[in-house]
Chain A
């Protein structure tokens, strides 16, 4: 297998699934009607409801759903089970489930006055469903935050050549905000300066590598070279498990990332988050464009970086830790989340994009089209990790992507630095926004019971502390799979809701119902497997060794997993009852409802 063949397979998949299946559902089942008024045109207020051009809305929707998910999931899955199961699930997932979930999230909202999924669930299923979804979302965000902080801290600590680039990105982001919004300089000059300096710092990271190595060593000498926390990590020693040491340098970089995210969460958007995202966009776009085109032509120009080198298949139940289990079903289907199907997409599509659809004919190109584009991002990550087998997962990804970029003549060490930076930037810009949403969720949830939580600094610090605690369990693979389980469960629940709605209006519900059933059972099973793995592989060994931090962290993770299972079971029961009710007595038109979240 080589990269060109994989890209061709991916492109053919997108074409066939879109033209032969997705369009057919859009035409025959949903019967999208360009003449029907959409909520954006009916309730246009210039803020929430705003008819928007198809091309612009596609870009906005894609930017909102594309983050680290498709990249990290593909990397982890390829390392655990091999590239073949990963590529098969990516292809089948996006063709039969992913586009259907994203598209339907928009459709159900557009056909229900622009209401969010929770509001529609409140009306169609039961009032308690909305409250359960609310709690679900908070823990879902917590899992993402913990996984992302852990991944970034590990990469930054282990790759000293990436540290200068991230520091300069932060400084240049702040400078850009000052230039654009306070000094009011022109955008072109400000972009050239800030993106240019950041790029130089990223490419020149190798020159400061020794400085940061010495800095890390200095930090570690503060504790006399002793670890701050020792924990049992089942992912070490070729997945047999071994004791890992959390050194002061790792905690420093985790705290540095947390400080960045805290600032992103409490400072005005224009001051930090927005300009950092803008600078980061150029770095990421440059890497992705060079990488994808490089992967296409690599078999001809540089064949040594185009051949898959990791095993195609490693087994149905890979060993991860001494006591854990990692069966291909259900775990592959939650490890690769966003590139195949994702609940976040449906959630965002329903509350954001749906209110800007100006024409029903745009629902499929925007909802389904964005999901197919995300699949290509996941495929690129899978290609990169499949050709760059050396090192840890993120290192393998950067080596692979760096190889693709180097096809265009950039020396491999610079190309790899650029790839590392692109990865960190993608994760970093999402995480800072994630903390912002999480602190608002927390203050909404507990603000009345615990008034100090209404303070943005208190709420942000709680969110950051919880994420650090989860990170210190040292089991980011499980954390990622727990997040994947929650994310995919969200997709299952949104598809379940779409199925109930289709039954309620007397339409054929199979295209949503079958994926809903598959994802519901798969994610329930995966959450239970993950809870067991954390208990057997992390909680127990650390408890036996008397290590309290990883015990508390992993105990929290088990609790979250069980909470998610309980929430999903309750929603599933309510959804099934509603589905049966509507199958017996469908209503021809949905009851009118005020547009609200």
Chain B
């Protein structure tokens, strides 16, 4: 069974950005040349529009190409606004160019800044800027654009609802099974131990005392398991702390149910706002499904659940050392098929990727990564002012290069080439520092 249906949405985003940005870059000299000729010759018609086109294309392609892949409402809205703002910016540049007297020094400075700055401040940069000030931007966006529900979003919601309903049914079956499998057994033990106490009360006080211990232990374990089940029935949205404690309880309950040693490692989580809506719920359900499968099929002695940040993703893994299974074997597919589909659908609903690795005799591992939407994550530990400084420093060479190109009548002379080279080197450096996302075209 192929469980890697969804390519990484971040990869798609970058590919789209790279492609559109690359095309735009090819047009850059032409645009500059056109702009220059336009002003010296005093024509502003066809040349203007020819040079305008790549920028508009860049904006449109960015919006279409990425919005289609990002299933997160907030992110998509920022994306659209970022693209629109970039286009408005470019259009303003051309209007200025067409109206200001060509010989004014101010005009030349503005014009060159606009030409190249438009590239520098291409949609991706706007998107990132908007993401950076996302919390600030959300409220006015809501006012201007409304809650922005598109057709595809309605479809997405319908699909989410479907998943929820199907999962609800499956969850009820599972709850019934788990009630049978855990709490009923604990109560059996309590009942039997009470009978033991009755039998041994006078004849064997030590045996009776041990049975009392068993009653207490089983009562406590039954309570833990009931707590874990109540969490599963709870429909209120989970936040970080809720998710952490709910996961811990599920792990503990699995340990009680199967006798396996269950480790639960939960690292620092990003703020809830930085995750696609529904991430906590989805991760909880996926983890719960995985743990439940382990309890039912794996016969594992060690289970490990981790939830932590891994680069730009929130990564959930559940690993067991049980008997594993052959994913292609029809009986395994029949048994686990629905559960796997649920896990996959839930991962996708928050833009994440789902992966299952298993083979007979080698345990099983599931991995889910959900993208984290915030440059402060990209710039882990880097102060905000430095981020903006990097923006500025990165932009200056391009602006200067553009200025030189334009004032030089469109030919790229050696000074311009040096500036462009500087920019490229700066980009390479940024990539190596792991800050590449900000500097990709």
Q: Do A and B bind each other?
A: no
